[in-house]
Amino acid sequence: MELKNNDKVNQNFSNVFYIMNQYWVDNQDPRTKHLPLVDHTPLPIILIMLTYYLMVTKFIPNFMKNRDPYKLRLPMLLYNIFMVVSNAYFFYEALIRFDYGRVLLNFEYPTDKTSTPTIRHDISLGKSLVFITSKN
């Protein structure tokens, strides 16, 4: 009976290892292999999210407990101006890339092996867009 429990533990460990590592290696897009945080495992992203959660819920509230609030009027104004300009740029890029919406009716998706200059530009634009929209 104890042997069955060990087999279940080994099977569960094997499943967790596959999900946390081998799945990402097997299904990785070769065009984005060189990008940071897209390597072989979701562990760095999970650690970043956990660190963010702890900072927001534990460390920063304790740090600011007996302090006056910061004056952030100018930094917020500059940040909002930057966001408006960057979002206008990405809107313009999307209009050009999708030919003002006409390409959205074309359902031919590129394969994982496609690596034309247009696809590389789209991947580069996607990196920047993810970064900018994550700041909203």
Tens digits of per-residue pLDDT, 32-42? 777 777 766 77
User: 91 and 84 in contact (C-beta within 8 Å)?
Assistant: no
| Interatomic CA distance for residues 89 and 55, integer angstroms | 32
Which pTM was predicted?
A: 0.52
pLDDT digits (tens, 9 = 90+) for 50-62: 999 999 999 999 9
Average pLDDT value over all residues in the chain = 76
pLDDT value of position 110: 57
Six-digit token string for 97: 């890339």
pLDDT < 70 stretches in the chain:
1-6, 9-10, 13, 20, 39-40, 99-115, 118-136
